[in-house]
Chain A
Amino acid sequence: MSTSVSAVYLHVVDAVVSKLRDEFINEGVDDSVLNELQGLWELKMMQCGVVQGPIERNSAPRGSGVPTPVHDLNVPYEGTEEYETPTAEMLFPPTPLQTPMQTPLPVEPGAYPYTPVGHSEYGTVPDTGAASADMKAGKPAPYMQPPSPWMNQRPLGVDVNVAYEEAREDEEGGGISQPQPPIKDFFMMTSGKRKREDYQPHILPNGYIPQQDGSGDSLDCSLQEKIQLCCLCLPWRKLNLMKNPIAQNSSNEAYAGTLHNRLKLQERKKADAAIASIIRMRRHSLTIPQCDGFDDVYDDGVRTEDYNTPSYYDPIPGNEVGTPKRTKAEASEDEEPPLNEDDDDEVDDLEQGDEEPNTNHLVLAQFEKVNRTKSKWKCTLKDGIMRLNNKDILFTKANGDFDF
């Protein structure tokens, strides 16, 4: 009876471990690391079902001459103490560090993009002053005292932190224990005064200020109305100006006045034309053609549209004073062009079809011969591992007959 799959795998594990033992010793790595590797590897194979436990090993002496204890692999692997998750005491010595500490930003807990390993253990560390002083380098735990006491204990003050400390003191004066950016901004914003410098004045070169101060103002009608108003103004002004030459004494002066008025009229007409062109430009500039992301039309006419987010080309409602606000999806899509990495997924899905999703049947082997006659393929394989129907089958030789 040939050796079973489980036995072969265990043989491989033993061979690998024994051949690496010397290598690990040369690297200065403890033998327990190798044992841990072996234990975890075997445990995973048992979980996959390719190896049956309990694993019985013969008592062949190992290279080191010390028999390793056979531990029960049916229980979850419990590492020795030295390989436990490092606690805060291990990572951070109890004595406070002399070097200046990094100042954590006053953000809410959880806003850190990276949490160093081991900080989850802080819940078990007693809340001593030293520990909290060390913990400030990382994510502050929610149970911590307000940061003010240990902030003042810092021996060295980096210039960068001075402004930060001042801000903190201001907040403490306001009676806030845990500084939070929303509250901070809220206080600043409720002053109620909006400075005129906050808004960019949209003044055209001729002094014409477009106004969209009503809801529902759209560019087209409001500006056109303005143009019409300007044109309407002209006859009135013309009349007004025409009155003046009548009041003049001499006819020459009247003629000069009329000429002057005509020049002014021409000037006004030019100004109006300039205004109209500027308006056209501005209208046109709002629709800058972009082919870098969202809502582009590609060559093949395939257009990706997301009806949940407003398109760039839709008229922007409301006050136009600030930059138009874009949704997060739009912003993220506009910054990076689509990678089109999923374009070929359909091909793979076709191959998958509606097969059972749990196993991807696989054969890994070496080929000795592959040949074809018309649509008949023949191949000779050797030394293969097959994973079929959640089972592992090994072979030393295989013959294949396929028709294409």
Chain B
Amino acid sequence: MATFELYRRSTIGMCLTETLDEMVSNGTLSPELAIQVLVQFDKSMTEALETQVKSKVSLKGHLHTYRFCDNVWTFILQDATFKSEECQENVGRVKIVACDSKLLSQ
């Protein structure tokens, strides 16, 4: 089953990648097992976001760049505002990377 490797670029994903790199470098873990860990992380992360998270967010901003390649949208926003029921965040520049949700359900 294909997974989105997208979430490996998040904070939790980068922490996992660094941990696995260290363990593979000092020989504690084999590279094959490390890849299996990452694949399992992809699945678990996607599932957790579907089931454990309930919040909704609205975003606004000026679209500086848009790109659609290999079924992946990449937007670069300037002066963006993110509103959720709990908080609001304003950032000067943000990159949005989005994969096609239909690919997972196929």
Contacts and interface: CB of A to CB of B under 8 A. Distances in A.
Contacts of A387: 10-11
A19 interface: yes
A366 B100 contact: yes
Nearest to A370: B73
Contacts, number: 209
Contact of B59 (A3, A15, A360, A399): A399
Nearest to A361: B94
Nearest to A399: B58
A223 to B, nearest CB: 61
A391 B55 contact: no
B12 A45 contact: yes
**Chain A CB within 10 Å, residue with most, of B12, B18, B36, B63:** B12
Interface in A372-404: 377, 379, 381-389, 391-404
Contact of B37 (A16, A362, A381, A388): A16
A366 B91 contact: no
Contacts of A117: 26
A16 B41 contact: yes
A360 to B, nearest CB: 7
Interface residues of B, number: 67
Chain A interface residue number, banded: 35 or more
**Chain B CB within 10 Å, residue with most, of A48, A50, A367:** A367
Contact of B48 (A15, A44, A398): A15
A16 B49 contact: no
A41 interface: yes
B36 A361 contact: no
Given A16-B41, A370-B73, A383-B49, A396 B54 contact: yes
Contacts of A381: 96, 98
A101 interface: no
A8 interface: yes
A44 B47 contact: no
Nearest to B32: A27
Given A379-B73, A384-B49, A402-B60, A365 B96 contact: yes
Contacts of A40: 19, 22-23
B94 A16 contact: no
Interface in B62-101: 62-66, 68, 73, 75-77, 80, 82, 84, 87, 89, 91-101
Contact of B4 (A2, A20, A366, A379): A366
Nearest to A46: B15
Contacts of B7: 364, 385
Contacts of A385: 7, 10-12, 49
Contacts of B3: none
A19 B28 CA distance: 19
A7 B12 CA distance: 12
Nearest to B9: A364
A85 B25 CA distance: 12
Nearest to A41: B19
Contacts of A367: 73, 98-101
Contacts of B84: 393, 395
15 contacts: A27-B30, A44-B19, A48-B11, A85-B26, A363-B97, A377-B75, A383-B49, A384-B49, A386-B57, A388-B82, A393-B57, A394-B53, A398-B59, A402-B60, A403-B63
Given A8-B48, A383-B50, A398-B57, 18 more contacts: A13-B12, A20-B36, A20-B37, A29-B30, A355-B92, A362-B9, A363-B96, A363-B98, A366-B100, A383-B53, A385-B10, A392-B12, A393-B87, A396-B53, A399-B59, A400-B60, A400-B96, A403-B62
Interface of A: 2-3, 7-9, 11-13, 15-16, 19-20, 23-24, 27, 29, 33, 36-37, 40-41, 44-45, 48, 50, 83, 85, 117, 351-353, 355-356, 360-368, 370, 377, 379, 381-389, 391-404
